[in-house]
Amino acid sequence: MLLPVNQFFDTLPKKQCSKCGTVMEEQSECYTHECDECGGKTVYPLTFKPDPKYQP
């Protein structure tokens, strides 16, 4: 049974972060089950959230 290509890809399970559930873009050579944030690839200080209401 043949499916249209886009429909075929829809049947593939989306890759989701095992921690936060964020749907990740398919990456080649990607063996992690966690997104960049949870996987610690991207080091953003979590406390760095500029508050627009903060006026020094």
Interface residue list for Zn ion (CB under 5 A): 17, 19-20, 22, 35, 38
- The nearest distance, CB 35 to Zn ion, in angstroms, is 3
Q: Whole-angstrom Cα distance, residue 26 to residue 30? A: 8
Single-letter amino acid code for the residue at 14 = K
Q: Which is nearer to Zn ion, 6 or 47 (by Cβ)?
A: 47
- The nearest distance, CB 15 to Zn ion, in angstroms, is 11
Q: Whole-angstrom Cα distance, residue 41 to residue 27? A: 14
Residue 16, SS3 per DSSP: strand
Q: Which is nearer to Zn ion, 3 or 20 (by Cβ)?
A: 20
